[in-house]
Amino acid sequence: MQTRLNDTSASKAVVILVAAGSGERLAAGVPKAFAPLCGESLLAHALRGIFGCAEVGHVIIVSPLSHVEHCRDVAGGTNGTDGGKPRVDVVTGGATRTASVQAGLRALLPDDAIVLVHDVARCLAPPELFARVIGAVRTGEAAVVPGLPVTDTVKVVNAEGRVVQTPDRESLYAIQTPQGFRREVLEHAHASGASATDDAALVERTGGQVRVVAGDPMAMKITVPVDMLMAAALLKDGLHVR
């Protein structure tokens, strides 16, 4: 008989929303989560996308130490599409993204069996993307990432600036968040103590299988100032680009 912890077929998901970065490259004068985009913070936009997915039952916001109350206020002032919203907890993050995810893992509740990790920097990720990732974990996948086929030609370049390889573009995908996991798979991956720019990489390194599902252009990552212009355009006209 399966334990409740492992029963992912029907349970709702928890989203660990990592928002503790400083946003140095965006240089907005505030941590990236609190930078304004069309009048609202990236955090507010991100929460609206998450709250819009009925399959999410719990959200853990990982905040900069200085902004915990601010996160609570933003969460309190943001509603889902039908007015309802999941339980929201706020914890403080660490010095790296990986450490911030681990702070979120420590705040999981006993019933949290499906865990999604999402970057506040991808604040326009729509509810359907969360639902797609959760659906794939429910069908039995251990780890699920959204991805879009790469349209640029990508080259591997060495320290001297010389191209050493041009991988076949057919097999290249740009990977987004939210990334979804069976809880024990993500905890095991992080127990290795290694660091990575995404959580799926830790699962790969610990021998786990990672499934790719269709990503969404709206889940673009805001990193540098020009990305804000792109995000503002998507926010106004997003449905036409999918």
**Positions in the binding site for ligand CTP (CB under 6 A):** 18-25, 32-33, 62, 93-97, 100, 119-121, 223
Sole residue written with tokens 């240089």: 27
From the CB of 105, what's the least distance to ligand CTP, in Å? Answer: 13
**Which residues, listed in sequence order, are joined to residue 174 by a DSSP beta bridge?**
148
Q: What's the rounded Cα separation, in Å, for the pair 112 and 23?
A: 29
From the CB of 146, what's the least distance to ligand CTP, in Å? Answer: 15
Between 20 and 201, whose beta carbon lies closer to ligand CTP? Answer: 20
Question: How many residues are recorded in the chain?
Answer: 242
Within 10 Å of residue 105's Cβ, how many Cβ atoms?
A: 22
Q: Residue 121 touches which of Mg ion, ligand CTP, none (CB < 5 to 8 A by kind)?
A: ligand CTP
Q: Residue 93 touches which of ligand CTP, Mg ion, none (CB < 5 to 8 A by kind)?
A: ligand CTP
Q: Are 94 and 21 in contact (CB under 8 A)?
A: no
Stretch 16-75 residues interacting with Mg ion (CB under 5 A): 21
Q: What's the rounded Cα separation, in Å, for the pair 165 and 179?
A: 28
From the CB of 21, what's the least distance to Mg ion, in Å? Answer: 5
Nearest residue (beta carbon) to ligand CTP: 21
Determine the 3-state secondary structure of 15 from DSSP. strand
Q: Binding residues for Mg ion, per CB under 5 A? A: 21
